[in-house]
Structure 1
Amino acid sequence: MTWIDDGMLERAGRFLWASGRVLEQRRFAFLFGGADDRAGVLTALDAYGTPDGGFAFGLEPDVRGPAAQPISVPSALRVLEETGALHGDRARRLCDWLAGVTAPDGGVPAVLPSLRPYPRPPWLPVPDEPAGDLLATGQIVGPLLRCGIDHPWLKTATDFCRHSIERLRQTHPYEAEAAVDFLDAVPDRAWARRQAARLGDLVRDQRIVLLDPAHPERAAVAPGYAPGEHHLPHDFARSPGSVARAWFTDAELARGLEHLAAQQREDGGWPVPWAKWSATTEVEARPGVTLGALLTLRAYGEESG
């Protein structure tokens, strides 16, 4: 089945040209507009870079200010992987920065004390003594492993992710997504399949996935999430090759993708599915959400083709 068509892309393009930041406009032109301009995308990304090797300045719209934060790194890695630029000096410098902010337990915290003076959402506490976080570390290690990066820090972070996933007994959607990011990339595929099967059982047993958008009452909203903030099968299995694809039947996945396609708004963009705390951050987040929706729909359309 074709999940994305020219009309959908045209509407999304109008939205991105009208409302997107330079980075999302460059990404859209590169990913969907036939513009082979990797340099333009990377130049836009570099505007969010910090002198110490991290990323800040609202690259992740919910994290404001000039102090680099680990939770901004997944957004940067996404762009670097899309453009084939996640290698060499860029990867080394980023891993060096991550090594410098890694907690004693071997994991990367979501945020650092340096965020405290700057605006942030109420659900993002700033710790005095940051601890490693699977939600942040899994999203970071996955792309680095997938691109074959070799760095001393990566072994420590990989071990942290493995141990954290093995200990998971209770989880929530964003943490499970991060675990899938790691499981999709870790070289030990037998271990990854075993852990993915167990994690899939947790996700279904704890009802943190909405299997039928027509019946939201059948899914649980995780503590601290906004009312109605549900995750659907494609949020875990963002492409057909993901280990999380086996968690869902064809019908369950199709219902979610139909719902995703129908979520395109009249202005051409997709809505932000998580809690909103600032009008500015919502405006800045929607273009990235829109690109994510298009990429997911294209991935499953290519599978059908």
Structure 2
Amino acid sequence: MIEQARTFLWTNARTLEQRWFEHAFDGGKAEHVVNAVLAYRNDDGGYGHGLEPDHRGPTSQPLHALRALQVFAEVNAPEHAEPILAWLTDTCPDGAVPFGMSTSKNHPKAPWIAADDQGGLLLTAQIAAGLYALNATDPWLERATDYCWQEIEKLEKTHPYELRAAAMFLDEVPDRSRAELAAARLKHLTPSTEGYADGEALEPHTYAQKPTSLARAWFTEEELDKDLDALERGQQEDGGWNFGFPAFTPIVDFEWRSIATVDALLTLRRYGRIS
């Protein structure tokens, strides 16, 4: 399985995902992964240039900052959170992060990305989770955390990606008792997939991204085992995995498949399916 994935990634992936895989499975150095991410950084401390495949163009955007934080967490590089925090303080001072900023309105992006500067739980919760995973502390993160608690505790209607974002936040936020209570309540929400593409959905392992995730209690052991079995069988003949949403332009197909491939292998390893 790993050998086939290695062939897929060397054939199709960006340098970043190749270096990420190399670090995760072949003993590659963390600094090589970090340097691959830093190639996307702008002078303002944010990230752009298609680091997150669905948002093209050079301008610093929250989706790119999120991706950078997630990769830095994978390779334990907490020192690189500080410039992102400075950028967030300048661009989202109240702690609520938009899905897309108006600075990208003239650049290509997926049709579901609104460059409207409207803060929301979807990105704020994931970015806060990424910062907590790097053990960051900052007044901006405190404001973002307050915002996330406010939005999560009044959540009655949601969609799968927002619910996943909330689960990610609850897995990392320091107040564990409050997180457990919130997770128990969210278990009973049914996310709406109205407007989603046919077959687009999130599976149990995307909510419970590791065995210690609070969202693991949202599913029975049988449900989770069945889901992990399906993930294991999801490797394609070319060695890569597919992703569960439309590719808005051809180039992102292999970019997202490469990310999905490393994600799948890491999930299977976290759950003891591969070593």
Relative to the length of structure 2, the TM-score reads 0.96
- Residue 96 (structure 2) aligns with: 107
User: What's the CA shift string for 1:108-143, capped at 9, x where partnerless?
Assistant: 11110011011111121221xx22111101111012
CA contact (8 A) 1:173 1:231 kept: yes
* Structure 1 residues 246 and 139, CA gap change in structure 2 (3 angstroms): same
- Residue 233 (structure 1) aligns with: 204
Q: Which whole-Å CA distance do the structure 1 matches of 2:58 and 2:138 have between them?
A: 26
Letter in 1 for 2:52: E
C-alpha displacement of 1:103: 6.0
Q: Which whole-Å CA distance do the structure 2 matches of 1:15 and 1:58 have between them?
A: 21
Q: Which whole-Å CA distance do the structure 2 matches of 1:155 and 1:125 have between them?
A: 26
- Within a 5 Å distance, the mapping from 1:1-305 to structure 2 comes to 8-35=1-28, 37-87=29-79, 90-102=80-92, 104=94, 106-127=95-116, 130-202=117-189, 206=190, 208=191, 222-301=193-272
Relative to the length of structure 1, the TM-score reads 0.87
Q: Which whole-Å CA distance do the structure 2 matches of 1:185 and 1:40 have between them?
A: 26
Q: Which whole-Å CA distance do the structure 2 matches of 1:11 and 1:184 have between them?
A: 32
Structure 1 unaligned runs (5+)?
Answer: 1-7, 209-219
C-alpha displacement of 1:148: 2.1
CA contact (8 A) 2:123 2:165 kept: yes
Q: Which whole-Å CA distance do the structure 2 matches of 1:29 and 1:92 have between them?
A: 26
Q: What secondary structure does 1:98 align onto? A: helix
User: What's the CA shift string for 1:11-40, capped at 9, x where partnerless?
Assistant: 1000001001000000101001122x1111
RMSD, aligned CA: 1.5
CA contact (8 A) 2:78 2:135 kept: no
Q: Which whole-Å CA distance do the structure 2 matches of 1:123 and 1:147 have between them?
A: 29
CA contact (8 A) 1:103 1:131 kept: no
Letter in 1 for 2:35: T
CA contact (8 A) 1:123 1:224 kept: no
CA contact (8 A) 2:73 2:133 kept: no
